[in-house]
Amino acid sequence: MKKILLVDDEPNIVMSLEYTFKKKGFEVYIARDGSEALEILENNIPDIILLDVMMPKVDGYQTIKLIKENEKLKHIKIVFLSAKSKSSDIEKGLSLGADKYLLKPFSVKKLVSEVNELLD
């Protein structure tokens, strides 16, 4: 069973994603910001992380840096989900090691297919 970690501070977005991926047979973990995500990652190693950028406390950029610095975690696929749509934002996200950068609002179907593609 594939594991997915959803990191976003918008509960309604998280809820939609949780519903979708549970239905697709994923084991779903939820964090409301970077620090919660890192807490979860201490005990669980998901296959993929969907990461928001603008979050309180520890934001998406800091989170991905910490993950990529960690030997045990750096192999995890990471997809940024962000409303920040400037090309500089996208470049920054990818340069930090993300596998995909998807813009909000996104299509759920497309997201699922991207996730599946990355995990195959």
Partner 1 sequence: MNSLVLFIAIILYLAVLFLIAFFAEKKSKSKWVNNPYVYSLSLAVYCTAWTYYGSIGVAAETGVSFLAIYLGPVIAAPLWILILKKIIRISKQHKISSIADFISLRYGNNRFLGALITVICVLGIVPYISLQLKAVSESFEIMTHGEVIENQAVLSDYTIYIAVLIAVFATFFGTQKTDASEKHKGIVASVAFESIIKLVFFLGVGIYVTFYLFNGTEDVYNQISSHENFKSLTTLDNVESGFNWFFMILLSFFAIFLLPRQFQVSVVENDREKHLKKAIWLFPLYLLLFNIFVIFIAWAGIVKFGSTSNSSYYALLLPLKEGNVFMALLVFIGGFSAVISMVVVSTLALSTMVSNNLIIPYGFLSKFIKGEQGKNTSYIKRIRRISIFLIIIAAYYFYYYFSVPLSLYSIGLVSFVIISQLAPSFFMGLFWNRGSSRGAIVGLIIGFCVTLYTLVLPMSIEAFTGSRDFIENGLFGVENLKPFALFGIDFLSPHAHAVFWSLLLNLLAFAVVSLSFKGNYRERNYAEMFIDPRNYSTLGDNALVWKGEAYVADIKNVLVKFLGVSRTERALSLFFRKYNLPPDTQMADARLISFSEKLLTGSIGGASSKILIANVVKEQEISLVEVLEILNESKEALANNKALKEKSDELSKLTAELKNSNNELLFQYKQKDEFLDTVAHELKTPLTTIKASTEILKDDIEEMEPEMQKTFLGNIEKEVDRLARLVNHILDIEKLENNRQKLNLTQSNIDNTISNVVNNLSHLAKEKNIEIRFETKNSATLFYDEDRIIQVLTNLLSNAIKFNEKKNGEIIISYTTNESWLEVAFEDDSKGIDEIDKNHIFDKFYQSENQNTLKPKGSGLGLAISKQIIQKHGGDIWLKQSDKNGSIFVFKLPFQ
Residues of this chain that bind partner 1 (CB under 8 A): 9-13, 15-17, 19-20, 23, 32, 54, 56-57, 83-86, 104-109
Least distance in angstroms from the C-beta of 108 to partner 1: 5
Q: Work out how close the CB of 118 gets to partner 1 at its nearest, in angstroms, rounded to a whole number.
A: 19
What gap in Å lies between CA 32 and CA 30, rounded to an integer?
A: 7
Instruction: Compute φ and ψ for 58, nearest 5 degrees.
Output: -100, 115
Report the candidate in 34, 90, 91 with the shortest Cα–Cα distance to residue 67: 34
Q: Which is nearer to partner 1, 48 or 50 (CB)?
A: 50
Closest to partner 1 by CB, 12 or 95:
12
The token duo for 33 is: 């910001």
